[in-house]
Structures are given as structure tokens and as C-alpha cells.
Amino acid sequence: MITDNVNALSQMANTVRRRDVQMIHDAGLGHVGGDLSATDILVTLYFGVLNIDPLHPQAPDRDRFILSKGHCAGALYTTLAHAGFFSVDELSTFVQPLSRLNGHPDRKKVPGIETNTGPLGHGLPVGVGSALAAKMTGKPWRVFVLTGDGELQEGSNWEAAMSAAHFQLDNLTVIVDRNRLQQGDLTEHTMHLDPLADKWRAFGWSVREVDGHNHEQLLSTFTSLPLEQGKPSCIIAHTHKGKGVSFMQDNVAWHHRVPNEKELAIALKELEEEVL
């Protein structure tokens, strides 16, 4: 599934967005705003970067991806399904009784999920452990962790960041979904994160800022990792919550809201027009 075709990545991202919006509407539950901000990052990783095999999701030397912002499981499930980890038809069971597609990802139920996430601030510590294990055993796998920006207000992330730099984990990459919105308000109104890049550098990381919706920039950055030998990499991906849907984009109300029938029709139409 690996491709360096930027147009193909863009088309797939749009497919994932449309399916995600439909899925959340049908389920009556989900975090559509954050899903749409992270979609381009997920699609670029799964279709252009990660060393993974959907037919062998537990292959020992596979790259590891951890969705630390686990409430955006909808975007990850939709990407995994289109990447071939399970049937796209199963997406219709999202958060339904007895479905394995829970509101937060479960590694014991869903192929392609590396660790259970939901409580924020847990993904990076797990990623550090996984990257350290690869270093200690001489294994080739890389570890990618996608965090929300509001999630960085959790102190566990900075303990993990300090450890990663200490152990020189240049096989570890953190991608920050920097949409500047969290549940209820702007991140900067809740707790100042800026100057965010300087904070990561102060913790011993190599940092690059990119447009998180530009597949060419994302692909070029991900395929040039590590950014610096002997240092973990932090990619600050500037994104828009609700990307691609006019009434959702940059609107904090869509952190955890479900589109009604009228809103769904508008969203699908706008997303369809985006690829024409």
C-alpha cells in the first residue's frame, strides 16, 4: 500500500473523511472535528510511510503507530479499513453493542492497533518504551505517535519526552496535531503551549513544523526521518479541526458533536466537491 503519489494520498484522505463523517452520523457518536484534522497525517503514514502488512499485523519487525489521542479512533478505524486491516463494511458497526470498534481503540480486538488509548498523555510514554525496546534488541522498527495539542498539557508527555532524548531514541517520531482547539476552547486559552517548537527543542528533540494537510510536505518529512541522528523527532503539524467542512472547520463545537441529516448532506457535498 506504500505510495509516493501525492494525488493518490489526497484522494484517499478525502475518501476517509467522507466515510468517517457518514460513520459518525450513523453511529450517533464520535469526535468528528479531531478526526478530520488528523486524517491527512494518518493517510500519509499508512499509505506512504509505515512498514506494515495488513495481512500480518503482528509481524515482529513492523513499524509501530500509536494514536495517543484515542478519542479520534474513528479516523484511525476508517484508515485501517481502507488500508486492508479489516473490511470497510465493518465500519457500520462503530460503537454499536458488541462491536470491536469501540469509541477508543482496543489492541486485543482490532488488527493494527498497537496499544489501547483514551486517557490522554499515555501514548507517548508507551511509544518511548517501544522505541527503547527496539534499540535494546537491535530491531529495525520505528515508532510513530500522534498526539493532540491540548493533550500536551498532560505532564506525562514531558516526562516521556525527557526520557526519549536521554536514550537518544532517533527511531521515535511524535506528530502533534496542532489544530489549536481542544474540548471547549482554544488551547492557548486553556493553557499556553507556545512557543511549542522551542519547548520540544529544550527537551532535546529535533523539530520541524509542517502543514498537516499538505501530503507532499508530510511525505517528504516522514521519509527523511530521523530529522537528526541521535535525537527523537517531533513534527508539529499545523491543522484545522473539522478540515474540509465549512461549518465544522476551526469550530470548537465540533470537538464532540454528531452531524444531523442536513449537516451530513452538506458535509458530504463539500467533501465531494473538494476532489473535483
Is residue 115 within 8 A of residue 127, CB to CB? The reply is no
Q: Does 174 reside within a domain?
A: yes
For 28-50, what is each residue's pLDDT tens digit? Answer: 999 999 999 999 999 999 999 99
| 250 dihedral zone (left: phi>0; alpha: psi -120 to 50; beta) | left
Q: Does 10 reside within a domain?
A: yes
In Å, how far are 69, 100, 105, 116 from 108, measured between CA atoms? 18, 9, 9, 8
CA distance 42 to 231: 23
The residue range of the domain holding 269 is 6-274
Closest Cα to residue 43, out of 270, 210, 215, 236?
215
For 48-102, what is each residue's pLDDT tens digit? Answer: 999 999 999 999 999 999 999 999 999 999 999 999 999 999 999 999 999 999 9
Q: Which set of grid coordinates corresponds to residue 262?
A: 442536513
Q: Does 160 reside within a domain?
A: yes
Q: What's the domain count of the chain?
A: 1
CATH number of residue 168's parent domain: 3.40.50.970
Is residue 43 within 8 A of residue 79, CB to CB? The reply is yes
Q: What is the pTM of this model?
A: 0.97
Strands 185-186 and 181-182 come out as antiparallel
